[in-house]
Amino acid sequence: MIKVTTPATSANLGPGFDCMGMAFCLYNTLQVEEIAQGVKIDNWGDQTIPQDESNLIYVTIKNFYERIGKKLPGLHFVQDDHIPMIRGLGSSAACIVSGLLAANALSGAEMTRDELLQIAAEIEGHPDNAVPAFLGGIAVGAMQNEKLYFAKLNVARLCELKFCVMVPAFTLATERARQVLPEKYTRVDAIFNISRAALLTAALTNGDFDLMKAAFDDKIHQPYRGKLIPCMESIFKEALSHGALGVFLSGAGPTLVAVTLSETRFSLPTGWTQVYLKPDMRGARVEFC
Ligand code: HSE
């Protein structure tokens, strides 16, 4: 039996659209064993998941076996998922990362973490969830000529930062949240985001909380996605007026994150819950049971 534990992730961190992300101590676990044939999926979590061949972990494992030219065995999974689905907390990336790590261990392919990350980024189309899901912490990834370049940041004073994760009752599919983005941006907006993404990287690595106050802003995706998340702006204002260093949409949303220095409770609209999550520093891990 192989057990894979994979963290939730928050992509973009404001200005780092499609390239920056961080991992949280909130996990999906997957136990996998080979069986004679077919697929059997047990769900130990309280969310509904596909329990047939459309299951994303199964699709990923099948994809991996096709890549290495091996016959896919029968598979039995036990999934215990705690990452809320379709909420911008990297549940799809967690399935892809779990599937790749499980397939690598089951097949004996012995691919390196870098090779697996490359495949994860290819499947996802952007690396901002997969990189922190694999590495933990706050990380950045960039694709160039189909090759993934990535790094985990050495964040100073990370243990002083608190991450208030605010989750609404409604879901928002990434595909829908990408449809509302423009095809082209002005030079002014491009410069706005490039400068803030660079500033955010400097602020995090230097542990400069004053810089962070300017660095989490974005003009590439949040202003457009705000139309799909009616309370986004008022929740941002609420958190900033109570001392948050920064606020951002988690991935494609609808979850929002406030970065604070104390575990402040914010006043949120009906249906929203808030929880302070610690950063996960280890990333996804595999155990042989
Ligand atoms: N960077 C992606 C987006 C994350 O914002 O659309 C969601 O997968």
Task: State pLDDT tens for residues 66-79.
Answer: 999 999 999 999 99
Instruction: Answer whether 176 contacts ligand 1 (Cβ < 6 A).
Output: no
Whether the model pTM is above 0.75: yes
Q: Kindly give the number of the ligand 1 atom that is closest to the alpha carbon of 18.
A: 1
Confidence grade of residue 8 (pLDDT, cut at 50, 70, 90): very high
In the predicted structure, residue 213 carries a pLDDT above the cut 90: no
Residue 134 is predicted with a pLDDT of 97
- Nearest-CA residue for ligand 1 atom 1 is 18
The pLDDT assigned to 206 comes to 96
- The domain defined by 2-154+280-288 carries CATH number 3.30.230.10: yes
**Closest alpha carbon to 246 in 221, 219, 218, 268:** 218
Q: How far is the CA of 23 from the centre of ligand 1 (A)?
A: 14
Q: What is the pLDDT of residues 93-108, one digit of tens each?
A: 999 999 999 999 999 9
CA of 37 to the centre of ligand 1 (A): 35
Task: Work out the mean pLDDT of the chain and round it to a whole number.
Answer: 97
Q: State whether the beta carbon of 128 lies less than 6 angstroms from ligand 1.
A: yes
Mean pLDDT for 168-183 is: 97
Q: What are the boundaries of each domain within the chain?
A: 2-154+280-288, 158-277
CATH among 3.40.50.300, 3.30.70.890, 3.30.470.10, 3.40.50.150 for 158-277? 3.30.70.890
Q: Is the pLDDT of residue 209 over 90?
A: yes
Model confidence at 226, pLDDT cuts 50, 70, 90, reads: very high
At residue 203 the predicted structure's pLDDT band, cuts being 50, 70 and 90, is very high
- Within this chain, domains 2-154+280-288 and 158-277 share the same CATH topology: no
Residues 6+ apart with CB under 8 A from 284: 4, 5, 6, 7, 94, 97, 98, 101, 133, 134
Distances (CA, A) of 236 to 24, 118, 150, 212: 20, 34, 30, 15
Rounded to the nearest angstrom, the distance between the alpha carbon of 237 and the centre of ligand 1 is 23
Stretch 272-289: mean pLDDT:
97
- Pick the residue whose CA is nearest to atom 3 on ligand 1: 252
Burial of residue 188 (number of CB atoms within 10 Å: 0-12, 13-18, 19+): exposed
Give residue-wise pLDDT tens across range 122-165.
999 999 999 999 999 999 999 999 899 999 999 999 999 999 99
Ligand 1 mean position, distance from CA 12 (Å): 7
Q: What are phi and psi of 78, to 5 degrees?
A: -125, 120
Cβ neighbours of residue 258 under 8 Å, at least 6 residues apart? 163, 164, 166, 239, 244, 246, 247, 266
Give, for ligand 1, the residue of 9, 12, 19 to mutate: max count of ligand atoms closer than 8 Å to Cβ.
Answer: 12
Question: To the nearest whole percent, how much of the chain has pLDDT over 70?
Answer: 100
Separation of alpha carbons 16 and 216, rounded Å: 9
**Whether the Cβ atoms of residue 23 and residue 133 lie closer than 8 Å to each other:** yes
Distance in angstroms (rounded) separating the CA atoms of residues 113 and 167:
31
Confidence of residue 231 (pLDDT cuts 50, 70, 90): very high
Instruction: Report the atom number in ligand 1 closest to the C-alpha of 17.
Output: 1
Question: How remote is the CA of residue 51 from the centroid of ligand 1, in Å?
Answer: 25
